[in-house]
Amino acid sequence: MNTREQLRMLILAVLERQPEHGYAIAQAIKARSEGLLTAREGTLYPALHALEAEGLVESEEREAGGRVRREYRLTEKGGKVLAKARGDWQQRVRAVGAVLGGTS
């Protein structure tokens, strides 16, 4: 799984909990990863637009605090893609763990 695919999976996972605007998605990724992962604006918004074009997320403009923000939400199709991505990721983690092994 390349970095682009990882970002897509992370975005879908954040949106699984609740709809969010772009900045909040980036902050959630950073917070949940304890600062190890970041989603920079230059990669986040193109990924969101691609996910929307594929029907995995949908968006609408909402007013919050006197500002209009585009809020993204996970679609049913996006939920299915996320479930598959999670399974694939867990399989990769097991495979890497098997290669790295542990001290015996």
Average pLDDT, the chain: 93
pLDDT in tens, 29-56: 999 999 999 999 899 999 999 999 999 9
Alpha helices in 18-100 (DSSP H): 22-32, 41-53, 76-100
DSSP string computed for 29-41: HHHHTTTS----H
Mean pLDDT over residues 18-27, rounded?
95
**Can you give the pLDDT at residue 1?**
75
pLDDT > 90 fraction of the chain, expressed in percent and rounded:
86
Mean pLDDT, range 91-99, rounded to an integer? 94
What does the block give as tokens for 87?
């399974």
Q: Give me the CATH topology for the region 3-100.
A: Arc Repressor Mutant, subunit A (1.10.10)
What are 62-81's pLDDT values in tens digits?
Answer: 888 888 999 999 999 999 99
Burial group, residue 94, by CB count within 10 angstroms (0-12, 13-18, 19+): exposed
Q: Where are the domains of the chain?
A: 3-100
What local confidence, expressed as pLDDT, does residue 102 receive? 65
pTM of the shown model: 0.89
